[in-house]
Structure 1
Amino acid sequence: MLRLDDVTKEFRIGAFGGKSVAAVRGVSFEVVPGEVVSLIGESGSGKSTIGRMILGLNPVTSGSITFDGLPVRAGKEYYRRVQGIFQDPFSSFNPVFKADRVFTMIKEAYYPSVPGPEWAAKVEESLRDVRLNPGQVLGKYPHQLSGGQLQRLLIARALLLDIKLLVADEITSMLDASTRIDVLNLLAELKVRGLSVLYITHDLSLGTYLAERTVVLRRGSVAEMGPTERVFGDPLHPYTRELLSAVPRLHETWDDAVPVETCLYHLKGGTGGLAEADPGHFVACAQLETC
């Protein structure tokens, strides 16, 4: 469904834009129908930039992004099938309008001929699908609702379009712990219904919660990629092991940084891009700066 091939994104910097910096470098992966893929990395690793390129909000410098075999083109028809939800739900709502205006905008853009009562029934159904009581959220201003309620409103909006792919960029980072699990369980339910999700996060514990596959980013490049249970159960790249060692564990002291061991990329004969260390489990060179 979604495929990234050798995608690079450079931004111009300097007073006159005479220099450039690569935020994403040669990234390739795919998301198949009904799959949840976690895109994990620390701040500045290029996660959100990849999400914005998939949504057509930033152009690709080189490489390609395709959806159902066609190049990504930002526009009405593309957004009927692909939607994004971002870290701060309050930024997606105009504070001077009531929160349910997002549904009015969907109707005006995509379903202008649907009668009012039929549309109201569709909105109510989508709200109940995300476990919201229509009477408690419709007609409220954004500041009168919690972050979790606003995130669910945005998911309900996406469901009204019968989308195929949801790009979820740090959507739980501003929510409390119990609400995070509720939102993740909701995504798991939507996955069962056939929705594909690219779940962008820096939180490893949440990344393992519902994703079948994981892509670990390091400084704009893929460090490791494969089935989630392999990436976290048997991490091959030193960077992945460092990320795992940094996760706090109850009743244990933190270990020292994981030392760099033999580079499995070269051990497996890698000469460019990623080396397949095990079936479906890929790893990059440990010495990113020199390889």
Structure 2
Amino acid sequence: MLRLDRVSKVYRIGAFGGERLRAVRDVGFEVRPGQVVSLIGESGSGKSTIGRMVLGLTPITEGTITFEGTDVSRLRGHRRRKEYYRRVQGVFQDPFSCFNPIFPADRVFALIRAEYFPEAGDAEWRRRIAESLDVVRLGPAQVLGKYPHQLSGGQLQRLLIARALLLDIRMLVADEVISMLDASTRIDVLNLLGDLKARGMGILFVTHDLSLGNYVSDTSVILRRGAIAESGPTGRVFANPLHPYTRRLLASVPRLHRTWAQTDAERAADAEGGCPVHGPGGGDGGGVRLVEAEEGHFVGCSGDGADGSC
């Protein structure tokens, strides 16, 4: 359904844009119907940049993003709104920033109606709203006519998902959608994503939290400094991490029966192994970025350089 092929993003920085910052390099993966793919990595690893490129909010520099065989970068204006955004929508980290505090929260539905369903009658539109709210487990009396400050973060987040569902979308980009929610509300949103997956929706789940990625996803893509460090079926990536960065991330996850006092020596032991592509001696650059270690399980060079050296 959604395919990224060698996608890169380069920003021009410095005086007069004389320097180049490669924020994302040679990223490729697929999201299929009824599948959750998690982009996992620390801040600055390129997760949100990839999500924004998928949504067309940030232009790509190199590579291609295709949705159902159509090159997304070639869609402009009316075609992008009518052909792409009817099928692909995003929900972001801070639900409060998506609402104008001087208007009722359900005004987001009116904006969708004006743009995509101007011909819909009032009765039909009320039915559509009721159906989308039912999917996200919200009653009309709970949210309609209420202002953003009268609703919880979880309700606002589910309201945004209901807004996307009005468009009969097939793909959802969920960028850190529960990082600002309390624990009691998080599970509601995660269960909602599970319900949408069961309905055949593809979900790109962007997170810095490995435990969440492990909980919700079928496929995990571990990002490091804008490149894929490791990717594959979530069970294999978490049970048999091959990249030193993945092992360091997993070693840093708090564990229920262990305190923060795990020694540095233990953490270092978790991260040993050298470059998984070029071996203990490293590589000279210009080589392979990803290799298939086992079926569907790919691992990248541990090098920091853009040329692939390690």
Q: Same fold (TM over 0.5)?
A: yes
Is the CA contact (8 Å cut-off) linking 2:24 and 2:226 kept in structure 1?
A: yes
| Deviation, structure 1 residue 42 | 0.2
Aligned partner of residue 256 in structure 1, secondary structure: helix
Distance 1:5 1:249 in 2: 36
Once the 2 structures are TM-superposed, how far is the Cα of residue 186 of structure 1 from its aligned partner?
0.4
Deviations 1:39-89 (A, max 9, x none): 000000000000000000011011111111111136312110000000000
Are 2:287 and 1:276 equivalent residues in the alignment? Answer: no
1:203 is aligned to 2:219: no
Q: Does the alignment pair 1:217 with 2:223? A: yes
Letter in 2 for 1:277: A
Q: Aligned to 2:81, which of 76, 85, 93?
A: 76
Tell me what 2:267 maps to: 256
1:168-203, Cα deviation, whole Å (9 max, x unpaired): 000000000121111010000110001100000000
Secondary structure (helix, strand or coil) at the match of 2:221 reads: strand
1:266 equivalent among 258, 272, 278: 278
2:26 — aligned with what? 26
Q: Sequence identity of aligned pairs in percent?
A: 65
SS of the equivalent of 2:66 reads strand
Give deviations 1:89-142, integer Å, cap 9, x for gaps.
011111111111111111111111111011111101111110111101110111
Return the alpha-carbon distance in structure 1 between the equivalents of residues 109 and 195 of structure 2. 22
Q: What residue in structure 1 maps to residue 175 of structure 2?
A: 169
* 1:159 aligned onto 2:170: no
> AA paired with 1:278?
E
| Corresponding residue number in structure 2 for 1:182 | 188
**Distance (Å, rounded) in 1 between the aligned partners of 2:271 and 2:214:** 24
Q: Please give the secondary structure, in 2, of the residue aligned with 1:179.
A: helix
**Mapping 1:139-154, distance limit 5 Å:** 139-154=145-160
Q: Is the 8 A contact 2:244 2:274 kept in 1?
A: no
Gaps of 5+ in 2: none
User: What's the counterpart of residue 53 of structure 1?
Assistant: 53
Q: Give 1:259 shift.
A: 3.4
Is contact 1:265–1:277 with CA below 8 Å preserved after alignment?
no
Task: Give aligned pairs, total.
Answer: 289
Amino acid across the alignment from 1:189: D
For 1:228 and 1:15, locate their aligned partners in 2 and report how far apart those are by CA, in whole Å.
43
Q: In the alignment, which residue of structure 1 is the partner of 2:239?
A: 233
- Kindly indicate whether the alpha-carbon contact (under 8 Å) linking 2:35 and 2:217 is maintained by their aligned counterparts in 1: yes
**Equivalent pair of 2:89/2:171 in contact (CA under 8 Å):** yes
Structure 1 distance, partners of 2:187, 2:108, is: 24
User: Aligned partners of 2:272, 2:304: CA distance in 1, in Å?
Assistant: 12
Determine the C-alpha separation between the residues in 1 that align with 2:21 and 2:271. Answer: 29
How big is the shift at 1:2?
0.6
How far does residue 250 in structure 1 lie from its aligned partner after superposition?
2.4
Query: C-alpha distance in 1, partners of 2:126/2:49?
Result: 36
1:128 has 2:134 as partner: yes
- Which residues in structure 2 correspond to 1:48-127 (within 5 Å)? 48-72=48-72, 73=75, 75-77=80-82, 78-127=84-133
Q: Which amino acid in structure 1 is aligned with residue 267 of structure 2?
A: D
CA contact (8 A) 2:87 2:171 kept: yes
C-alpha RMSD of matched pairs (Å) = 1.3
Unaligned runs of 5+ in 1: none
What secondary structure does 2:89 align onto? Answer: strand
TM-score by length of 1: 0.96
- Paired residues of 2:40 and 2:47 also in contact (CA < 8 A): yes
Q: In 2, distance between residues paired with 1:261 and 1:196?
A: 35
Task: Tell me the distance in 1 between the aligned counterparts of 2:182 and 2:14.
Answer: 39
* CA-CA distance at 1:15 after TM superposition: 2.5
Q: Tell me, yes or no, if the aligned pair for 2:248 and 2:267 is still in contact at 8 Å.
A: no
